[in-house]
Amino acid sequence: MRWLDEFRAFILRGNVIDLAVAVVIGAAFTAVVTSLVANIITPLIAAIFGQPDFSGLFFTINGSVFRYGNFINAVISFLLIALVVFFLIVKPMNALMARMGRGAEAETPSRECPYCMSSIPVTATKCAYCTSEVEPVPPPPDAPVSAPAS
């Protein structure tokens, strides 16, 4: 019964459950995006450019049928789904993240440790890599002075 306890611990770990939820949500999202492309975007393209169905295109060699029209349909469907995901998901999420200030994080100023040449913060007094004591770099003369903590 020890293997049953190990299996239960494995299944109940957070990352396995998170992965399962992600797969289910991904499948549901795929169905929504596929439906959007098949039922709204593709008919719009058909209304503008004519019938966008290439499934009738094929050729035969020695009795083998090559349905290259189905491949063209799959490529067009993939490109349309990618466009929909990009413009309806990725672009709005990027704009939202930029608005929330979660874009590129401000990089902390750094300098080299004179002993091991590792990159350490400018305000460090001890190197995190070689544990050598280092002189702190004085702030520039135009830097704002912060009040001491009480």
pLDDT digit string (tens) for 32-42?
Answer: 888 887 788 77
In a domain, 23, yes or no: yes
pLDDT tens profile 51-101? 667 778 899 999 999 998 888 878 888 888 888 888 888 899 888 888 887
Do 90 and 24 belong to one domain?
A: yes
Place of tokens 């450019």: 49
Element (H, E) at 60: strand 59-61
Do 128 and 84 belong to one domain?
A: no
Q: Cα Rg for the chain, rounded, in angstroms?
A: 29
In a domain, 54, yes or no: yes
- Per-residue model confidence (pLDDT) at position 108: 73
Structurally, the chain folds into a number of domains equal to: 2
Do 12 and 78 belong to one domain?
A: yes
CA distance 80 to 83: 5
For 132, the domain range is: 107-138
Phi-psi region of 73 (alpha: psi -120 to 50; beta: other; left: phi over 0): alpha
In a domain, 77, yes or no: yes
pTM over the 0.95 mark:
no
Do 27 and 50 belong to one domain?
A: yes
Do 114 and 66 belong to one domain?
A: no
- Share above pLDDT 70 across residues of the chain, in percent, rounded to a whole number: 86
| Residue that wins the pLDDT comparison between 9 and 95 | 95
Q: In the chain, what is the straight-line distance between the N-terminal and C-terminal CA atoms, in Å?
A: 58
Do 64 and 129 belong to one domain?
A: no
Do 42 and 85 belong to one domain?
A: yes
In a domain, 150, yes or no: no
- Per-residue model confidence (pLDDT) at position 59: 93
